Structure 1
Amino acid sequence: MKKVIVACGGAVATSTVVANRIREIAKREGIQVEVSQCKVNELDSKKDYVDLIVTIAKVKKDYGVPVVHGVAFISGINVDATEEKILDILRK
């Protein structure tokens, strides 16, 4: 099972939209995934044992795991490219 954290400023509205989208993508592709949500400032304490971090806010810090900027799921721009980045990581 792959583990994903979705992080945004408040860990409520936008992260819920993105988390649900990741679940849909993974289900469509037959990938088992556990998706949790948090605030960006909580990533340091939650980054261990995850396969991917998807953020809504821009982050420059290296957390030691792949980070994908997921604002495409909110804006509707470059959604296909963002999905492919996520799937490339989850398929490994």
Structure 2
Amino acid sequence: MKKYTVLVACGAGIATSTVVCDRVENLLKDNHVNAEVVQCKISEVSSRQESADLIVSTTILPTTYNIPAEIATAYITGIGMDKLDQRILGHLKS
């Protein structure tokens, strides 16, 4: 079974990414997706993308990356969380 790597990024890599990181970890565990969730700063994503499969960001992405990216505003606002869950799972199960 493939092990995925998901980068969860925010501006400082501390506050909002902690909330999103917990949500993504639980989502993947509940759906039996073998993945490591790595919390980082948005400024670190470019250098980490080659070893990752997906970016989940709590902030606007400053550039385009070589891997899929999702903005996690839904996890902060509580609006549209189910749709975001499905998009994240879709990236990792395809």
Q: Which whole-Å CA distance do the structure 1 matches of 2:45 and 2:32 have between them?
A: 27
In the other structure, the counterpart of 1:68 is 70
**TM norm structure 2:** 0.93
| Count of aligned pairs | 92
Distance 1:9 1:60, change over 3 A: closer
List aligned pairs for 1:46-85, cutoff 5 A. 46-59=48-61, 61-85=63-87
Runs of 4+ residues deviating >4 angstroms: none
Distance apart, 1:51 and its partner CA: 0.5
Q: Between the two proteins, what is the percent identity of the paired residues? A: 37
**Aligned alpha-carbon RMSD (Å):** 1.0
Q: Any stretches of 5+ residues in structure 1 without a counterpart? A: none
Q: Any stretches of 5+ residues in structure 2 without a counterpart? A: none
In the other structure, the counterpart of 2:18 is 16
